[in-house]
Amino acid sequence: YNDLLSQLCRAVYIFLNVNKISYIDCPISILAGEHLTDNFKNNINRFQKLPCIIDDNDFKLSESVAILRYLCEKYTIPDHWYPRNDLTKRSKIDEYLEWQHHARLGCVLYVQNTLFKPLRGINIPENVVKRSKVNMEIALDDIENIWLANHTKFLFVDQITIADLLAVCEVEQTKMTGYNPYVGRPNLKKYMESVRELINPIYDKAHEKCFKFIQNTKL
């Protein structure tokens, strides 16, 4: 269950498709509030959030990080995504996954306050928008100056992991508002290009909705 306007849904979507894991796609419209119905709450996800999955024997799971870890354990996929037998590498990935909440809070609040809430007719005070922008830029600067400080191709040297999917989808959404996350962040720009090049055309397919918003902000 997903809406590809959600950066977390896009990360799971990309992982499933890159690794050729079969699934039934169940699109849900966040803007239409389809995840807020009683049917969704009672039968799909009690938290009424996306993404979520229903797997074998009616096993239900929500939260993108939990879903990605579950898929890594269940299916035979390349070990670099989330190493099973290397505690050190896996722990470094986990470190980012825990830190990711800082990036998500900063980026998603800015996108909501400048794009999605106004689309629903909700007026956001200017001081709230400015504060959310500051928090977003702190998160982006941390990715630029801390996580990518060694100028590596991916977050963890030379192989992509589930952490990279969450990171790039988080950053990509900021462009929907007309914001350019690459200004003053050359490491971030190079990094985003590396990930996109590796997993295209799936990357672009996952971001079609985002790209439409980005194009509209340029008109």
Q: In the predicted model, is pLDDT for residue 146 greater than 50?
A: yes
Q: Rounded CA gap, 213 and 57, in Å?
A: 38
Largest Cα–Cα distance of the chain, in whole Å? Answer: 50
Contact by Cβ (8 Å): 35, 48: yes
Of 1, 10, 2, the closest CA to residue 173 belongs to: 10
pLDDT digit string (tens) for 111-127?
999 988 888 889 999 99
CB 143 within 8 A of CB 171: yes
With bands split at pLDDT 50, 70 and 90, how would you rate the model's confidence at 214?
A: confident
| pLDDT at 213 (0 to 100) | 78
pLDDT for the residue numbered 216 = 74
Q: In 3D, which of 206, 182, 177 has the Cα closest to residue 2?
A: 206
Is 103 a residue whose pLDDT tops 80?
Answer: yes
Task: Quote the pTM value.
Answer: 0.94
**Mean pLDDT throughout 33-56?**
96
Residue 158 pLDDT level (bands cut at 50, 70, 90)? confident
DSSP 8-state symbol, 36: G
Q: Are 169 and 162 in contact (CB under 8 A)?
A: no
With beta carbons less than 8 A apart as the criterion, state whether 6 and 170 touch: no
**The pLDDT of residue 217 is above 70:** no
The residue ranges of every structural domain in the chain are 7-78, 81-218
Q: Once rounded to an integer, what is the mean pLDDT over residues 23-52? A: 96
Q: Which residues contact 19 (CB under 8 A, 6 or more apart)?
A: 71, 75, 77, 78, 81
What's the mean pLDDT in 171-195? 96
Are 7-78 and 81-218 in the same CATH fold?
no
- The pLDDT, as a whole number, for residue 136 is 96
121 vs 91, residue with greater confidence: 91
* DSSP of 104-157: HHHHHHHHIIIIIHHHTT----HHHHHHHHHHHHHHHHHIIIIITTT--SBTTB
CB under 8 Å to 204, separation ≥6 — which residues? 196, 211
pLDDT at 201: 98
pLDDT tier at 97, thresholds 50, 70, 90: very high
**Which residue, chain included where needed, has tokens 């509209």?**
216
Please tell us whether the domain made up of 81-218 is placed in CATH 1.20.1050.10.
Answer: yes
Token readout for 99 is 């830190």
Q: What percent of the chain has pLDDT over 70?
A: 99
Percent of the chain exceeding pLDDT 90 equals 84
| The predicted structure's pLDDT at residue 218 | 58
pLDDT score at 20:
98
Q: Does the pLDDT value for residue 167 go beyond 80?
A: yes
Place 219 in a pLDDT band, splitting at 50, 70 and 90. very low
Instruction: Give CA 29 to chain center in angstroms.
Output: 17
CATH number of the domain at 7-78, out of 3.40.50.10890, 3.40.50.10490, 3.40.50.1100, 3.40.30.10?
3.40.30.10
pLDDT of residue 199: 97
